[in-house]
Amino acid sequence: MAAHPDVMDKLVSLCKRRGFIFQSSEIYGGTGSVWDYGPLGVELKRNIKEHWWQSMVRRDDVVGIDAAILMHPRTWEASGHVGGFVDPLVDCKTCKGRFRADKLEDARCPQKPSKQPGQHDACQLTEPRQFNLMFKTFMGPLEESAATVYLRPETAQGIFVNFLNVQQSTRQKVPFGIAQIGKAFRNEITPGNFIFRTREFEQMEMQFFVEPGTDMEWFEQWKAARMAWHLGLGLSPERLHFHQHTAQELAHYARAAFDVQFDFGGTLGFQEIEGIHNRSDFDLTQHQQFSGKKLEYFDQPNNKRYVPYVVETSVGADRVTLATLVNAYREEAVEGEDEGRVVLGLAPFLAPIKAAVFPLTKKDGQPEMARRIQDDLRGAMAVDYDETGSIGKRYRRQDEVGTPFCITVDPQSTGDDTVTVRERDSLAQERVGASQLKGYLLGKLAG
Ligand code: ATP
């Protein structure tokens, strides 16, 4: 299989130039591995989150919640994060660099980037020590250990502790799921690769509660559903595959775990974008033990009580955003033109801007007609207006942010009330009546 090219540097620059993603606090020199989404990036990420919510929550057997980031500190003892959410860390006494001991092959020696840490003669690596990835802070005015709370490193625990609240308030019957989208924080030792591994990120997680014994069946169903979701985003099938956790990778309580991996190209290659886990009854049993509250489900028709098993699907909104950008980026030659074009071939429903309206010239009522069209479309879709520069330049600007349709108002338009619609990928142009334009575009977007 041909390796996909590394487009990361080009994407980072495009994302900054066009307002998708900026380095956080850039004017102060930036904050390490924290990123801000600009006007186009926020639209793209919202479209991805909305697509997830539609597919996961708009069904009878899944409901949504939005739990708080700060949770009772006992939560993280019960979940195993206080004791076990650690990565092995090594320091280099020469360059003061810090690296994950288990990922040295992915890291570069800051003094000799052609080598990995430890391989350059000057490297002096310490023995590995365990480093907890949770961010700590204090609740209330006293900065003492009794007031320590954590920024959640995953959204899942907010779902587990609310299992009974949700089940009883919604009268859901097992099997059912609880879904949420929210921020998570991890003090990663070696973050990087743009928004691939960051210290603040968003997760979209769903915990599906099932009767023990039916868990593997549900696991297989969710595994298939989640792969179908990624394909539905337009990610190329050859860039997606499952990675089954080996016995060493599998958490002690997990009965099965598969990652959906995407090929980010270059040396990064295939990497996890989502985890699908059969977590047994580990989480609810732990919370039951640590809280002293029963977290059993009462199956009334069969008159039995049990602690449900959990099938979890956990996907990073930022990693998927990056995957869609990497997947969509292409450079191509344009017939009859010296300069080629950069295109973000995003699925139209993901595109931050759905249509852009251009007057061919700034006279003869064309700008006014273009503005009227923009106003008419605005309620139905994100629509841009541009009257600056040659029409070719305006097309290029929209192509590189993934706008699927460009609408041009020309001298004919003001006479017969028609416009040209140009499609991003095929470059095909069609004349459409201005009054039919909204329906025409909505039809194409839905298709
Ligand atoms: P990795 O091995 O890459 O650190 P993980 O196995 O720790 O990931 P999970 O805890 O299963 O990841 O989290 C589920 C999802 O959350 C991941 O598949 C990924 O999409 C996202 N995710 C996890 N850590 C980060 C991070 N530091 N930055 C961005 N996204 C993340």
**51-107 residue pLDDT tens:** 999 999 999 999 999 999 999 999 999 999 999 899 899 999 999 888 999 889 888
Q: Name the closest-CA residue to atom 6, ligand 1.
A: 275
Count of other CB atoms within 10 angstroms of residue 335: 5
Tokens 């305006």 correspond to 394
Q: Name the closest-CA residue to atom 3, ligand 1.
A: 272
The stretch 114-132 carries a mean pLDDT of 92
The CATH number of the domain covering residues in 341-446: 3.40.50.800
Q: Which CATH class is domain 8-72+151-325?
A: alpha beta
- Is 303's pLDDT higher than 60? yes
Which of 132-141, 315-324, 330-339 shows the lowest mean pLDDT across its residues?
A: 330-339
- Range(s) within the chain of domains with CATH label 3.40.50.800: 341-446
The stretch 412-429 carries a mean pLDDT of 97
What's the pLDDT score for residue 189? 87
Per-residue pLDDT reduced to its tens digit, 306-321: 999 999 999 999 999 9
**Crossing angle of helices 317-328 and 8-17, rounded to 10°:** 100
**Most ligand 1 atoms within 8 A of CB, residue of 87, 227, 314, 322 to mutate:** 314
- Range(s) within the chain of domains with CATH label 3.30.930.10: 8-72+151-325
220 CA distance to ligand 1 centroid (A)?
A: 21
**Most ligand 1 atoms within 8 A of CB, residue of 87, 203, 276 to mutate:** 203
Per-residue pLDDT reduced to its tens digit, 345-396: 999 999 999 999 999 999 999 999 999 999 999 999 999 999 999 999 999 9
Tokens 């295939």 correspond to 270
174 CA distance to ligand 1 centroid (A)?
A: 28
Q: What is the DSSP letter of 192?
A: B
Which of 146-150, 254-258, 425-429 shows the lowest mean pLDDT across its residues?
A: 146-150
Count of other CB atoms within 10 angstroms of residue 331: 12
- Report the alpha-carbon distance of residue 289 to residue 74 in Å, rounded: 11
- Is 145's pLDDT higher than 80? no
Q: Where are the beta strands (DSSP E) in 211-308?
A: 240-244, 256-263, 270-278, 297-299, 304-306
- Is 127's pLDDT higher than 60? yes
- Report the alpha-carbon distance of residue 410 to residue 361 in Å, rounded: 7
> Do 285 and 292 touch, CB atoms closer than 8 A?
no
- Report the alpha-carbon distance of residue 348 to residue 350 in Å, rounded: 5
Token duo for residue 360: 């061919």
Position 2 confidence tier, pLDDT thresholds 50, 70, 90: low
Q: Which residues contact 82 (CB under 8 A, 6 or more apart)?
A: 73, 76, 132, 134
52 CA distance to ligand 1 centroid (A)?
A: 17
- Report the alpha-carbon distance of residue 292 to residue 269 in Å, rounded: 45
- Is 236's pLDDT higher than 90? yes
Q: Residues lining ligand 1, judged by CB closer than 6 Å?
A: 154, 186, 188, 197-198, 201, 203, 272-275, 314-316, 318-319
**What single string gives the DSSP state of each residue in 153-178?**
S-SHHHHHTTHHHHHHHHT--SSEEE
The stretch 167-177 carries a mean pLDDT of 97
- Is 1's pLDDT higher than 60? no
Q: Name the closest-CA residue to atom 24, ligand 1.
A: 197
**Most ligand 1 atoms within 8 A of CB, residue of 229, 319, 320 to mutate:** 319
318 CA distance to ligand 1 centroid (A)?
A: 10
- Is 271's pLDDT higher than 90? yes
Q: Name the closest-CA residue to atom 13, ligand 1.
A: 314
Q: Name the closest-CA residue to atom 20, ligand 1.
A: 316
360 CA distance to ligand 1 centroid (A)?
A: 47
